[in-house]
């Protein structure tokens, strides 16, 4: 099993040879190639081997999906359900931003308080642990009863999804602030606010950004599932349910790909910010 | 060849992926008799650790022959053991279990293995820390675990890569004395890499001065101080002469800035 | 000693806060505010609702319905995740090839396939199993991959230099290095698997803990609904904290890392 990690040749090097184009770009070529291969098999399988009648209903080839994406996103054609894809996209984006924003407004101050006070922290800890461990989706039925079908239920689910990672990371970052540095600043006469500004905030910023990255992922997840069940008229999640019920697998996958691309773009962007902000930090400290 | 450890014209070039090749050893030669204590000094990055790894059998040289006791080195063997520069302790094992590693791999039963290792743990002054994990130890303590581990497997050749670098001055003095005692009693051949000229002179029969990278043997300085050595000897005129001689050989190799090696120093 | 007092104080404060929470909840709706049972419940009512369903055997029954697909899906995720992750870390080329696709899949909200999965596999055990598998396999893949890549070459060399063979290297270096990564992956995977079971049971099912929550919600039986929500919370906390505890107990050497 383990031989290759052990081989001295990997430890030292391959025999002397000029590096070829392939060697220089191996990860990209292999990674991109594999994705292309998956798409090729997916595209060609039904053409070559055929599909049973039942399966045909659930199948869309990459070309079908691309065609759907093109007609929906570029030509802005009407969906067989209601409205255009952009209307749904905007609805989901609104929910996402609203819910995420709300969670930021709540999580940051609360996180700082928890991080700075041992007593408050100890009292909140069981609740935060419990809510963070539980999939927030479990509260959907009660949220539906409290907020009624529609917009606010979806917002509540997105909020519940995003708030805990943000809260926990802010709290961890604040708590992690170096006691020595705090004392140094205090010895120069800094007050509580200045301590927060000079030491605590710069120290916790990378943690907060890492929390934000997690929160964004959870918020997107929240948008999807809340729109599945939340009863709003518009939203990409709504489209997915309706598309699958009417066997429009091409539309279903098209929306899935939109979600994927948006998630990857946002995650990558936040990751960039995170790396920039964490440069001073030794790599050892892990955020979660 | 009659010598016990011999390196003949060893060349070794690292070719890391996507980075420039580094020639660590070039036409490297060495001859060491059995039972000798030999120190190697040289500029940082000149290939000292690399040579020890070749001798240990972890890195095959590109060309040249490395042999111990008349047999060509083709891989690791229980006749050689190394005290690694970066400790190399298994983080999930306690001190005692780390020290037992060599005997465990040789298939020694648990009871005798524990007993043997207890002695070495005591020798390096870590009694009471048997059940600590490496992350609970200071740098110097980790280094001593590495030393106990190498000694416990009872090798004929002991390779030591800056083993006392992480120790405080007092512990270092004690460990030096202990090492000399073990070497003398157990009749081992020791190869000892250090940056401290004083330490090299105090401990060794011969001191090898290496050139800057790519490393080559520049000078073999015999240390003609009588044994057993004691602490006072360090202030004797002959001791200082030898120190100066080695320093003069070494200082030409230590150029700061400007040359290709500055990035590694 | 100090740390001990600190820990105890922390625990006491936590327990006190939880008790206080339920007390205040109970007191508020026992006079201060009129309880509208279609909208809200209180701990004593939730408890009697829970006891009722417990005695009738319903709780156990619904639990069993949910547990089976959970186990199947999760075990499949463990096995597939470890195998794929090991391959990716072990053979650099495999790692290069699979990394981008896996990253894309991991970063995207895969629950979105739930409607399709349920249409293809149905609402029974196979559909839920597949959903749970899809959601929980990626933490295992990525953590195993990271763990295998992070194996310290120096430690491999140490064991080799002392005469260890491939088997020794495998069992004395690689397994202990990678195991904590896999277990930590399990902690993430559990949460995602629970999402899987909830989505599956909310979406279309006729039994199971998730179904009961939705069902009692539809019936406006708020006390029962809360009872099942709390059951779900207890299960989730037990799993995550259980794994955390096991991590600390099994890997004490990681504390300082
Ligand atoms: N695995 C490796 N891959 C690539 N280059 C390496 C590797 N190991 C060592 N080198 C290079 O080989 C040269 C010699 O390294 P080596 O570790 O032998 O130096 P050293 O003499 O032990 O230095 P120091 O006294 O600082 O420990 C260095 O320039 C180093 O960068
Ligand atoms: Mg070195």
Residue B64 pLDDT level (bands cut at 50, 70, 90): very high
Chain C residue with the nearest C-alpha to that of A144: C217
Over chain A, what is the mean pLDDT?
A: 81
- Select the residue of C100, C114, C225 nearest A31 (Cβ to Cβ): C100
Strand, helix or coil for residue A191? coil
The region of weakest confidence among A6-15, B12-21, C161-170 is A6-15
Which tops the pLDDT comparison, A288 or C180?
C180
Residue B131 has pLDDT above 80, yes or no: yes
Residue C134 covered by a domain: yes
Per residue in B162-199, pLDDT (tens digit) is 988 888 888 888 888 888 988 888 889 999 999 999 99
User: For strand B71-72 and strand B63-68, is the pairing parallel, antiparallel, or unpaired?
Assistant: antiparallel
Q: Which positions ≥6 away from B76 have C-beta within 8 Å?
A: B56, B57, B58, C160, C161, C162, C163
- What pLDDT was estimated at residue A284? 40
Which residues lie across from B40 on neighbouring strands? B193, B208
Any idea what DSSP says for residue B65?
E
Residue of B41, B50, B159, B196 to test ligand 1 pocket, by largest number of atoms within 8 Å of CB: B50
- What pLDDT was estimated at residue A13? 43
Q: Which of B264, B91, A56 is nearest to C179 (CA)?
A: B91
Residue A76 pLDDT level (bands cut at 50, 70, 90): confident
Question: What span, in angstroms and rounded, lies between the C-alpha atoms of B212 and B43?
Answer: 6
Neighbouring C-beta atoms of residue C21, cutoff 10 Å:
14
| Residues with Cβ–ion distance below 5 A, ligand 2 | B 49, 85
Counting the structural domains of chain B, the total is 1
Give the residue numbers spanning the domain of C89. Answer: 42-254
Cis (ω within 30 of 0) for the bond into B214?
Answer: yes
Radius of gyration of chain A (CA): 25
Q: Which chains touch B (3 or more CB pairs under 8 A)?
A: A, C
User: Are C161 and B57 an interchain contact pair (Cβ–Cβ within 8 Å)?
Assistant: yes
Q: What is the mean pLDDT of residues A258-274?
A: 86
Rounded distance from Cα C214 to ligand 2 centre (Å)? 65
Residue B34 pLDDT level (bands cut at 50, 70, 90): very high
Chain C residue with the nearest C-alpha to that of B84: C158
Residue bearing the CA closest to ligand 1, atom 31:
B45
Neighbouring C-beta atoms of residue B236, cutoff 10 Å:
11
Residue A182 has pLDDT above 90, yes or no: no
Neighbouring C-beta atoms of residue C221, cutoff 10 Å:
17
- What pLDDT was estimated at residue B263? 37
Counting the structural domains of chain C, the total is 1
Q: Which of residues 20-49 of C touch B (CB under 8 A)?
A: none
Residue B176 covered by a domain: no
Question: What span, in angstroms and rounded, lies between the C-alpha atoms of B139 and B86?
Answer: 10
Chains B and C: how many Cβ contacts under 8 Å?
A: 62
Q: Which of residues 26-85 of B touch C (CB under 8 A)?
A: 53, 56-58, 76-78, 80-82, 84
Rounded distance from Cα B24 to ligand 2 centre (Å)? 11
Residue C160 covered by a domain: yes
List chain C residues with pLDDT less than 70.
1-2, 204, 255-257
Residue C241 covered by a domain: yes
Strand, helix or coil for residue B22? strand
Residue A18 has pLDDT above 70, yes or no: no
**CA-based nearest distance C98→chain A, Å:** 6
Tokens of residue C201, six digits: 């049971």
Which tops the pLDDT comparison, A255 or C250?
A255
Residue A54 has pLDDT above 60, yes or no: yes
Which tops the pLDDT comparison, A202 or C87?
C87
**CA-based nearest distance A51→chain C, Å:** 14
Tokens of residue C69, six digits: 């697909």
Residue A14 has pLDDT above 50, yes or no: no
> Please, are residues A232 and A151 in contact by the beta-carbon 8 Å criterion?
yes
Q: Which of A226, A215, A210 is nearest to A272 (CA)?
A: A210
Residue A71 pLDDT level (bands cut at 50, 70, 90): confident
- What pLDDT was estimated at residue A283? 44
Q: What is the CATH classification number for the domain harbouring B230?
A: 3.40.50.300
Residue bearing the CA closest to ligand 1, atom 12:
B24
Which tops the pLDDT comparison, A54 or B48?
B48
Q: Which ligand is nearest to the CA of B41?
A: 1
Question: What span, in angstroms and rounded, lies between the C-alpha atoms of B251 and B211?
Answer: 10
User: Are B60 and A8 an interchain contact pair (Cβ–Cβ within 8 Å)?
Assistant: yes
Give the residue numbers spanning the domain of B238. Answer: 1-79+188-255
Question: What span, in angstroms and rounded, lies between the C-alpha atoms of C133 and C113?
Answer: 12
- What pLDDT was estimated at residue B65? 92
Residue B44 covered by a domain: yes
CATH class of A95-231: mainly alpha
Q: Which residues have CB under 6 Å of ligand 1?
A: A 11; B 14, 16, 22, 24, 42, 44-50, 85, 213, 264
Neighbouring C-beta atoms of residue C86, cutoff 10 Å:
21
Residue B20 covered by a domain: yes
> Please, are residues C159 and B105 in contact by the beta-carbon 8 Å criterion?
yes
Per residue in A114-159, pLDDT (tens digit) is 888 888 888 888 998 899 889 888 998 899 889 988 889 999 999 9
Q: Which chains touch C (3 or more CB pairs under 8 A)?
A: A, B
Residue C17 covered by a domain: no
**CA-based nearest distance B69→chain A, Å:** 23
Q: Which of residues 183-212 of A touch C (CB under 8 A)?
A: none
Percent of chain A with pLDDT over 70: 88
Residue B35 pLDDT level (bands cut at 50, 70, 90): very high
Residue B178 covered by a domain: no
Taking CA C35 as the corner, what is the angle to CA C30 and CA C39, rounded to the nearest 5 degrees?
145
Residue B234 covered by a domain: yes
- What pLDDT was estimated at residue C1? 53
Element (H, E) at B135: none
């Amino acid at each position: 099993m383990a031989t290759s990690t052990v081989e001295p040749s990997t430890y030292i090097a391959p025999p002397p040879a000029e590096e070829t184009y392939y060697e220089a770009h191996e990860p990209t070529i292999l990674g991109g190639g594999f994705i292309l291969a998956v798409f090729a098999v997916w595209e060609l399988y039904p053409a070559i081997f055929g599909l049973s009648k039942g399966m045909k209903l659930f199948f869309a080839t990459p070309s079908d999906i691309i065609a759907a994406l093109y007609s929906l996103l570029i030509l802005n054609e009407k969906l067989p359900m209601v409205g255009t894809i952009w209307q749904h996209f905007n609805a989901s984006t609104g929910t996402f931003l609203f819910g995420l924003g709300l969670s930021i407004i709540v999580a940051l101050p609360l996180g700082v308080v928890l991080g700075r006070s041992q007593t408050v922290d100890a009292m909140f800890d069981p609740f935060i642990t419990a809510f963070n461990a539980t999939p927030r989706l479990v509260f959907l039925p009660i949220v539906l009863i409290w907020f009624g079908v529609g917009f606010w239920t979806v917002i509540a689910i997105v909020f519940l999804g995003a708030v805990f990672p943000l809260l926990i990371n802010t709290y961890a970052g604040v708590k992690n602030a170096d006691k020595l540095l705090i004392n140094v600043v205090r010895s120069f006469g800094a007050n509580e606010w200045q301590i927060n500004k000079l030491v605590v905030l710069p120290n916790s910023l990378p943690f907060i950004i890492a929390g934000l990255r997690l929160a964004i992922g959870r918020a997107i997840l929240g948008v999807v599932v809340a729109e599945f069940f939340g009863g709003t008229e518009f939203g990409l999640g709504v489209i997915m349910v309706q598309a699958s019920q009417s066997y429009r697998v091409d539309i279903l996958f098209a929306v899935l790909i939109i979600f994927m691309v948006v998630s990857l773009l946002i995650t990558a962007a936040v990751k960039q910010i995170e790396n920039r902000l964490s440069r001073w930090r030794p790599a050892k400290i892990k955020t979660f | 060849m009659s010598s016990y450890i011999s390196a003949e014209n060893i060349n070794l070039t690292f070719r890391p992926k996507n980075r420039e090749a580094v020639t660590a050893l070039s036409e490297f030669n060495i001859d060491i008799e059995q039972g000798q204590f030999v120190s190697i000094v040289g500029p940082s990055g000149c290939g000292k650790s690399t040579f020890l790894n070749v001798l240990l059998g972890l890195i095959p040289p590109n060309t040249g022959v490395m042999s111990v006791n008349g047999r060509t080195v083709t891989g690791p063997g229980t006749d050689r053991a190394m005290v690694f520069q970066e400790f190399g302790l298994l983080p999930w094992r306690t001190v005692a279990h780390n020290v037992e590693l060599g005997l465990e791999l040789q298939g020694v039963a648990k009871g005798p293995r524990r007993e043997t290792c207890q002695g070495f743990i005591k020798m390096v002054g870590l009694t009471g820390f048997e059940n600590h994990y490496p992350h609970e130890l200071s740098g110097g303590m980790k280094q001593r675990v590495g030393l106990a581990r190498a000694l416990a497997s009872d090798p004929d050749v002991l390779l030591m890569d800056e083993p006392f670098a992480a120790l405080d001055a007092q512990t270092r003095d004690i460990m030096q004395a202990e090492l000399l005692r073990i070497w003398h009693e157990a009749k081992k051949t020791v190869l000892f890499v250090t940056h401290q000229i004083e330490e090299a002179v105090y401990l060794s029969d011969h001191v090898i001065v290496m050139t800057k990278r790519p490393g080559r043997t520049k000078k073999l300085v015999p240390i003609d101080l009588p044994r057993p050595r004691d602490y006072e000897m360090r202030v004797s005129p002959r001791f200082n002469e030898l120190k100066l001689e080695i320093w003069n050989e070494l200082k030409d190799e230590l150029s700061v800035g400007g040359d290709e090696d500055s990035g590694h120093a | 000693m100090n740390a001990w007092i600190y820990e105890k104080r922390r625990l006491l404060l936590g327990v006190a806060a939880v008790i206080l929470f339920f007390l205040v909840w109970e007191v508020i709706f026992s006079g201060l505010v009129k309880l509208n049972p279609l909208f809200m419940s209180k701990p004593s009512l939730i408890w009697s609702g829970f006891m009722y369903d417990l005695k009738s055997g319903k709780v156990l029954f619904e639990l069993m319905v949910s547990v089976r697909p959970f186990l199947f899906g999760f075990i499949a995720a463990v096995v597939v995740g470890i195998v794929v992750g090991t391959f990716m870390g072990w053979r650099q080329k495999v790692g290069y090839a699979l990394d981008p696709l896996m990253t894309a899949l991991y970063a995207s909200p895969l629950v979105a396939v739930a409607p399709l999965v349920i249409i293809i596999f149905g609402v029974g055990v196979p559909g839920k199993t597949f959903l749970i598998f899809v959601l929980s396999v990626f933490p295992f893949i990525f953590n195993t991959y990271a763990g295998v890549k992070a194996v310290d070459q120096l430690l491999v060399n140490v064991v080799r230099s002392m005469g260890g063979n491939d088997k020794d290297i495998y069992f004395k270096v690689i397994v202990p290095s990678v195991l904590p990564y896999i277990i930590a992956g399990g902690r993430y995977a559990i949460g995602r698997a629970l999402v899987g079971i909830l989505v599956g049971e909310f979406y279309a099912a006729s039994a199971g803990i998730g179904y009961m929550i939705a069902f009692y919600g539809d019936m406006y039986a708020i006390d029962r609904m809360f009872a099942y929500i709390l059951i779900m919370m207890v299960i989730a906390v037990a799993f995550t904290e259980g794994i955390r505890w096991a991590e600390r107990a099994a890997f004490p050497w990681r504390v300082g890392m």
